[in-house]
Amino acid sequence: MFYTYIWRDSAGLPFYVGKGGNDNGKRSRNVSMRSKEFKAIHANGGCTVEMVDEFILESQAFAHECELIERYGRADRLEGCLVNQTDGGDGASGATRSQDARGKIAASKIGKPRPQWLKDHLSLLKSGVKLSRNTARPYPLA
C-alpha cells in the first residue's frame, strides 16, 4: 500500500506534502531527513501529520502527491505555503546503490561514535525482546 500525507503547522496550515509506502506510515512521521525549512517549522512545535489517501499502485500515490503540491503551491516559487522543494512524483522508491557507492557510505561512518541511547535501542532490538511502543521509538514521532 502507498499513501500521501500532509504535515500541518501549529495553526493547522499545510506546510509539506509527501508520499510513502509499504512502511506502516514510517516515512510520514520521519522528521530527520527533511529540508532545513521543514525542520524550522517543525521545531516551533504543535505540528501534526495527516494521512490523506491510500493507493494500491505507487504511480497513483505519486500522481496524488503532485496534485496536492499543485493545490497548495510551493513557497519557494511564491505560489503557496509548502516547503516542498520539488513538484512531487520524483521519489527514490526502489533506488539501488552500486557496490562502490555503498562502500563509500560505509567508510564515511567509520569512527563516528553512536549515542548511547542508540546503542541501547539497537541492543534491545537484536535481543528478541518485545519492545513497548515508547521503547521502540525513543525519539518523538511528531
Question: Residues 109-121: pLDDT tens digits?
Answer: 787 787 887 787 7
Q: Can you give the pLDDT at residue 90?
A: 77
Q: Which residue has the cell 503540491?
A: 69
Read off the pTM: 0.66
Average pLDDT over residues 12-33: 90
The span from the CA of 136 to the CA of 28, in Å, is: 17
The span from the CA of 82 to the CA of 90, in Å, is: 16
Q: Can you give the pLDDT at residue 131?
A: 61
